[in-house]
Structure 1
Amino acid sequence: MLSFVPRKFTRRTYVFVFFIVTVLFSTLFLSFYPEKEYKIGIIVSSTKNNHATIELIKFFVKKRIDEFNKKGGINGRPVKEVYMDDFEDSSLTIRHVEKILRDEYLVGILGCWNSTRAKEIVDLIGTSGVPFIGDFSINTFFSNYGNIYSMDKGVSDELAIFDKFLNDRAIRNVAFIGRLGDLYTIKYYNYIKDSLASDRGIAYEKWLLKSEEIDESALENIISDVEKSRTDIIFLSLGARNGILIESLHKNNIRIPVYSILGTIGKLLSSVGYEFDFDWYDTAVEGIPNVESQRLEELIARYRSDISSIDSSRYLAGYGGRYADGVGMILDAAKSAASQEIRGIREHVIESLRSYISSRRFYKGWSRYWAFTENRTSSEDILLVWKPANYDGFILYPEQYARKAGGYVRKPVIYLNVDMIRITGVNNSEKSFSAEFYLNIKSEDPGIDKSYIEFTNAYRGKDSNEPLINIRAIDEDTGINDNSKGKLQSNYLYKVSGKFDFYPDLRLYPFDEQKFSISFQPRNAAHDFLIQPPKEELRDTDFSTDEWVVNTHYVGMDQDIIRSTKGYVSEEMITPFYKFNYTWVMERSKVDYFIKTVIPLLTILTITYLSVYIRKKNFEATVTIQVTALLASIALYFSVYKPTTDYATLSDEIFLFTYFSITLMMAMSIFKSIRYVEDFSRLMFVANLLQRYAFPAFVLSMVAYVFSVKYFSV
């Protein structure tokens, strides 16, 4: 019996049907049994005013997770973010959390920036054992759950600093206007009520619902009652509506100081203006006014082109970085878990978060260093800010306190300014520059002078290892009453000249930008301090530079993490140590490079190009010109200045391109002289095409490359 052999058409049909069945089966299998993805839930609250905040959170979190997945994810499996937008509706927050807690691959949850809504979900998450890093202040209602932490400063720590403020101001009677039902506001209200002595108290209080309108009649009654109460200070906790009362106080010529509890001073000042003649206080949300986080600056610079389309400030970018850091804390811990079971992974994440308590360890995030207090809230310093009457900005309040040994110690504030005179002698190979500037130091603490400050990037002599800096006192004037609170006990003016280190990145030389910094920190950890620079408009950027142009300027802050041990060698202890810098971002002047390098190279390339139009019988002249052009470009490379680096600079790439281009022209000239090529018209056509059209196109492409690297690189 003959075996059945299908015809060619039938074989193709069978193969095609088999392929279709395989694809359908694979699709159905993946739909019923998808690849396991670990999840991380992120709670956000969209409003009509915070679109940029949400966009930046999503952008930075995605970047963080994409980077994590490229490195293998968790046990070789990817991680996916799941956003839970509650639109400021507590019932929606609860539904989102209940749903995601049923996901067997959920690694952790992040977010929820309102204490009132957070209270509704802490029991759900706390009993589940899922790691949760929240973004709310009230820590008391999650104290029984070891799996819950917060990226925000704890209200217990805030109130400890707030108590120092009440005592410093010797406040007796207060007015309190707050949002009804807001737990954060109620916490402050109860603390104020309990803290004031029997002969002091809340002289006037008013509670308003979040949705309650404040019409003209209600506003007049509030202002009238506040004025009659003869209060020492007004505490406002209405969020964005604080601005309505601030404007009304100014309009009615009431000069009672104001303290914002719910609602930040920075956002309100941008809407209500600065011209009112009473002091205004707040707890800092954005760190030290007019000081940028060094790590945040680097993060923004890395993704500047990606986030340029989002209408945002550094603060909002920092908020996105904050959520990326929260995701990073959870994922980095999950990756190092020994167990592959989700329960074991979650337990390892919680154990890792516990190690960040009390400065035993710090998490090095994209936007800042992270650690937690014993209350499992952020360990960052709680700073009081102050808008003096009629001052168009806000600054650090002169009384600041830092957490130390379970308590709080006073930390001086130095109102410091660097007025640059000149930056000269930039040496790329030595990585140094010379600077001359005036240094003004002011403080309400006595005896705060140059002895408190150490210049951390001072260049040191090779023999003595001493800083090559000269500091000369110009003026000393203490006891000047130039603020509304009290007298400045320290006021010194110095002229400083010296040599400083810098760390150039010369990959784009000579089209590069470099950062020139004057960096300093407390000379002694026992004499720690904070600095307050003047606002940016008052900082001079018009000074003398050699072959450099100032682009931008900022005052930055970073931390040194100092490792030590408690007792003899019993336990590791990590101490953060602030350091500050005045930084000028300057662009190298390119006139000298164009005259000495670019124009000669263009001339050499032009002559090389024109040589191909010499008649064929003068072949020797053509090649001689091209060889001379190559040798001239090599000689030019060794005659012009070039920094010493371990990598190729953009200038090196320009010269390498020139060598290659001229060599290509020489090769084509020699190729055309071969008898076989002369008799083959198509080969001659290709050679002429390369020399006459491809060569100039190649030169133009190099010019385009230089511009793209300069203006579009990150």
Structure 2
Amino acid sequence: MSSAVELTNRAVGLVNEDPAQARRLLGEALAADFSYEPAWAWFAAVTTDRAERKFCLQRACEYRPDAETRRALAELDEVSAQAPPEIAGFLEPERPTLSTPPDRGPDRRRLRWIGAGAVTLLVAGVVFFAAGGARRSPVYIAVAAGISSGVHDRAVSMVNSVQMQLDEINAKGGVQGRPVELLVFDDHNDAAEAKRQAEAVVADGRIQLVIGHMVSDTAAAAAPVYAKAGIPAITPSATSDSITESSRWYFRSVFGSKDEGRFQATYLATVLGATTASVVWGSDVSGQQSRDPFVDTFRQFGEIQQDLRIDFDPARIDASIAEAVARLKAQQNPGPIIVALPALRAEKFVVALRAAGIETPIFGTDALGSTGFHDQLTNSAWGREHPAEIVRNMYGVSPLPLDSLSGSALAWANRYRKRFDINPTWFTATAHEATELALHAMADDRVDLSGKDSRSQIREALAAIDSPKHSIPGLLAPLYFEAAGGAHFPISVVRSNGKQYESAPVQLADYTSTPGATVAQDLTDGRAIAAGGKLFARRQVVSTGLNLNEISGLDTRAGTFFADFYLWLRYTGDDGVSDVEFVNAANPNLKLGAPIRTSTVDGETYRLYRVADRFKADLDFRHFPFDRQRLPILLQNRSLPDTRVVYVTDRTILEQSEDKYLLSGANSEASINKVANWRATSVAFFQQTVGSSDSLGDPNIDQAAQGIFNSQYATQIEISRDLGPFLLKNLLPLALLMCVTYLALYIPAAEGGATSMGVTAILSTAVLLNTVTSGLGDISYTVALEWGYYAFIMLATGVVLVALVRKNLHSAKKTVQLRRLTLGARIAYPLYVAGVAITYCLLYAG
């Protein structure tokens, strides 16, 4: 007999020339394998009957629910599904109507049917409520990106980021109880195509909001279309300010070109000390809008040596790049070069520049600050031959340096990496932020997703996210929009270390006043920098590494553990950044002490310390004994706020595999874990900002609303119980009690032993429970294991009640009722135990 695969392949070849034979073969394929999704999909394609098509799409979606199938099915909402005749023959027939037998009293068959019906209703109820009730119609959003373009990987990462976010929100019930579906539109990163795709979005009619487009030219082309149709849009990567300034319907989840240009000019002059600079920019919207604020701001500090425009006309671009490189080579001191070009054209320019022997620092705009662009350079033909030269003195602007991830951002990055087997980029992160803003707006109580004004209401909900007070949590910082729909977003500088980008050792942060000092004093002393109408503060970046040697001595009652580790700090500038404390040390007087190794090379200081002491952990036993505990080591500066210093993960840590984090720094072949009956499963490193928005009574803080915040570096070790020995030791007595109590149901009703056995089981269980949970300390909540013990106490109580009723029935000589009760109890007991066991497996398996 042919397989479903063979029959489907034969059918595919006949779809055009003999549709009837193709239908017959597909029917045979589904008879061979009813769950073979490609056969259902092809049957949906070959049939001309809309009812049959809906039936086939429903089955295909059931076995493989991809977006394309769901879209096709959504178009048939008003059609009633009907099985094709080729398939109807092997569908399960309807149940016949059976005559009702005469009433003979409650016999065993009736009892079995009643029991089966009750179980069915119970299961149906659980499934209904677990699914959140009846499925409501979906809400649609669109992603518009240049999938068929030279930056395909970045476009796909953007789509993947949005889809992952939607999958996670749908798993929690969706938005306003409705699932959110994603529709993808490919604009090729071409302005004309972007306009056509925007018109397709409008024509679709279902889409509530658009995330995209990727670049400024395509976003600018699509903006009027969305504005005319009244569809809100959020771009995660197009930085041109004119996009959001010219349309009240367009928003941006990344910083704008004006802020970026001012920032770059200030950084070049005040951090890198440049008094001259050159700028190379493209003949597109983004190039012009990146160039203008940079030039205007840098002229406050020095001179622009070369101001070079690259012509993007395909017939001129190569010659235009060559002319720019020649002029820079002829310039005696061009200074650092700002490159405001799209990634593919920037790669051509950088390769030509370095091949010409020009080694001056290159400072790229956001398109050049991604890991993808760094990889483009090192994987180019010239870059493979000259790996050191191609990225030497290479700087870029980035919203997401991977060494500066916070705890929530790191968790998100790990989920993305696990799902797609690739590291996220800043494009991925800002797409996540755009999705977060979109979902927040759609969930607003004032938005009626079924109403005709839903798009306008979503736009108003987005516009209301307009200040820190109204912000929502983001991966990198609180998310909110400034004037004209642009996001308030931190800007970071990354620098190539030859292998990858890392945070530059000095950053510029938004200025906050120094306690006891005026703005004028901070400007005079260099703590504040004024440029482009904004105030900045210099912030030292400390590359921080922590190598664990051992964790041991977990005290679950006191919530402490012992840790032995090496700690190192790498930084440029003032040594005050090494004055750190461990905020969760059990000993409040714990200090780093003298470093065991120190050096300074090219202005960069390195210090190595060894620490061995006890630390506090906030242990959560709600899932005990299936709990996973997180043991933190938290480091922060004693006095400097987060605007002056930030601690980020050192590159040597980032270059290691996560498995190596679990190996001892003192013995690379030994595990860090020395905690009895626990397993160390992972170690994470991340930075976070902690503090208070209040002044905490400090009279030197002039603006209480600014508060006191610190950069904190966290190492988090996750451990899980070794369940095998624990369950064997602590649950075996309970299992024996269950068996003994069950035997009580087989003791003759005339004897009284069953009652005493049940009571003894209840008392013994209470003693066991107290023994098992005695090591948890004082907790105010019920742990998972306690529910199991309580369930058994209820079961044993039921056995006692059954024993008493059985004895009464025996005394009354009601033999039939006694027999039924005994049989029912003997059946119900193991079913109850199995139900509790299954519940625990569903809740805590894995």
TM-score (norm 1): 0.72
1:638 counterpart = 2:747: no
1:153 counterpart = 2:261: no
Other structure's SS at 1:597 match: helix
Give the equivalent residue in structure 1 for 2:400.
287
**CA distance 1:90–1:347, change in 2 (3 Å):** closer
Q: Compute the displacement of 1:474 (Å).
A: 3.5
Higher share of residues assigned helix:
2
Other structure's SS at 1:153 match: coil
1:458–1:468: 8 Å Cα contact kept in structure 2? Answer: yes
Q: What pairs up with 1:536-555 in 2 under 5 angstroms?
A: 536=654, 538=656, 540-542=661-663, 543-547=672-676, 548-555=678-685
CA distance in 1, matches of 2:179, 2:795: 48
CA distance in 2, matches of 1:350, 1:598: 53
**CA distance 1:292–1:681, change in 2 (3 Å):** farther
1:383 counterpart = 2:495: no
1:709 counterpart = 2:843: yes
CA distance in 2, matches of 1:395, 1:635: 57
Give the equivalent residue in structure 2 for 1:85.
185
Give the equivalent residue in structure 1 for 2:833.
699
Q: 2:595 aligns with which of 475, 481, 499?
A: 475
Amino acid of the structure 2 residue aligned with 1:510 = P
Q: Report the RMSD for the aligned CA atoms in angstroms.
A: 5.3
Query: Of the two structures, which has the highest relative contact order with CA contacts closer than 8 Å and spacing of 6 or more?
Result: 1
1:518 counterpart = 2:633: yes
CA distance in 2, matches of 1:344, 1:228: 55
Q: What pairs up with 1:561-640 in 2 under 5 angstroms?
A: 562-563=692-693, 578-590=711-723, 593-610=726-743, 616=748, 619-621=751-753, 624-640=756-772
1:236–1:258: 8 Å Cα contact kept in structure 2? Answer: no
Amino acid of the structure 2 residue aligned with 1:410 = R
Give the equivalent residue in structure 1 for 2:446.
335
Q: Compute the displacement of 1:138 (Å).
A: 1.5
Q: What pairs up with 1:333-372 in 2 under 5 angstroms?
A: 335=446, 349=461, 352-353=464-465, 355-356=466-467, 359=468, 361-365=470-474, 368-372=477-481
Worse-matched range after superposition: 120-129 or 702-711: 120-129
Give the equivalent residue in structure 1 for 2:508.
401
Give the equivalent residue in structure 1 for 2:217.
116
**CA distance 1:105–1:456, change in 2 (3 Å):** farther
Other structure's SS at 2:263 match: helix
Amino acid of the structure 1 residue aligned with 2:679 = V
Give the equivalent residue in structure 2 for 1:322.
433
CA distance in 1, matches of 2:705, 2:354: 53
**CA distance 1:160–1:598, change in 2 (3 Å):** same
Amino acid of the structure 2 residue aligned with 1:364 = P
Give the equivalent residue in structure 2 for 1:531.
647
Q: Compute the displacement of 1:679 (Å).
A: 6.1
Amino acid of the structure 1 residue aligned with 2:740 = I
Other structure's SS at 2:573 match: coil
Give the equivalent residue in structure 2 for 1:267.
372
CA distance in 2, matches of 1:619, 1:209: 100
CA distance in 2, matches of 1:638, 1:328: 46
Q: What pairs up with 1:3-152 in 2 under 5 angstroms?
A: 42-45=142-145, 47=147, 49=153, 50-51=155-156, 53-58=158-163, 60-61=165-166, 85-88=185-188, 89-94=190-195, 110-122=211-223, 133-135=234-236, 136-140=238-242, 142-143=244-245, 148-152=250-254
Worse-matched range after superposition: 140-149 or 701-710: 140-149
> Aligned residues, how many?
646
Other structure's SS at 1:554 match: strand
Other structure's SS at 1:277 match: helix
Point out where structure 1 has 5 or more consecutive residues left out of the alignment.
1-29, 32-36, 73-77, 460-466
CA distance in 1, matches of 2:692, 2:340: 39
Q: Compute the displacement of 1:350 (Å).
A: 6.9
Q: Compute the displacement of 1:622 (Å).
A: 5.2
Give the equivalent residue in structure 1 for 2:613.
497
1:223–1:249: 8 Å Cα contact kept in structure 2? Answer: yes
Q: Compute the displacement of 1:266 (Å).
A: 1.7
Give the equivalent residue in structure 2 for 1:4.
none
Q: Compute the displacement of 1:597 (Å).
A: 0.9
Other structure's SS at 1:287 match: coil
Worse-matched range after superposition: 263-272 or 251-260: 251-260
CA distance in 1, matches of 2:399, 2:459: 33
Q: Kindly, what percent of the aligned residue pairs are identical?
A: 12
Q: 1:675 aligns with which of 807, 810, 813?
A: 810
1:183 counterpart = 2:311: no
1:410 counterpart = 2:557: no
Higher share of residues assigned strand:
1
1:508 counterpart = 2:508: no
Other structure's SS at 2:574 match: coil
Q: Compute the displacement of 1:414 (Å).
A: 0.8
Give the equivalent residue in structure 2 for 1:658.
792
Q: Compute the displacement of 1:527 (Å).
A: 6.1
CA distance in 2, matches of 1:575, 1:211: 56
Q: Deviations over 1:207-264 (max 9, x none)?
A: 66689999xx999999999999998777584525767888999999997765554345
Q: What pairs up with 1:160-171 in 2 under 5 angstroms?
A: 160-167=262-269, 168-169=271-272
Q: Compute the displacement of 1:396 (Å).
A: 0.9
Q: Compute the displacement of 1:495 (Å).
A: 2.5
Give the equivalent residue in structure 2 for 1:34.
none
1:441 counterpart = 2:576: no
1:173–1:201: 8 Å Cα contact kept in structure 2? Answer: no
**CA distance 1:249–1:626, change in 2 (3 Å):** farther
Amino acid of the structure 2 residue aligned with 1:645 = I
**CA distance 1:280–1:678, change in 2 (3 Å):** farther
Give the equivalent residue in structure 2 for 1:24.
none
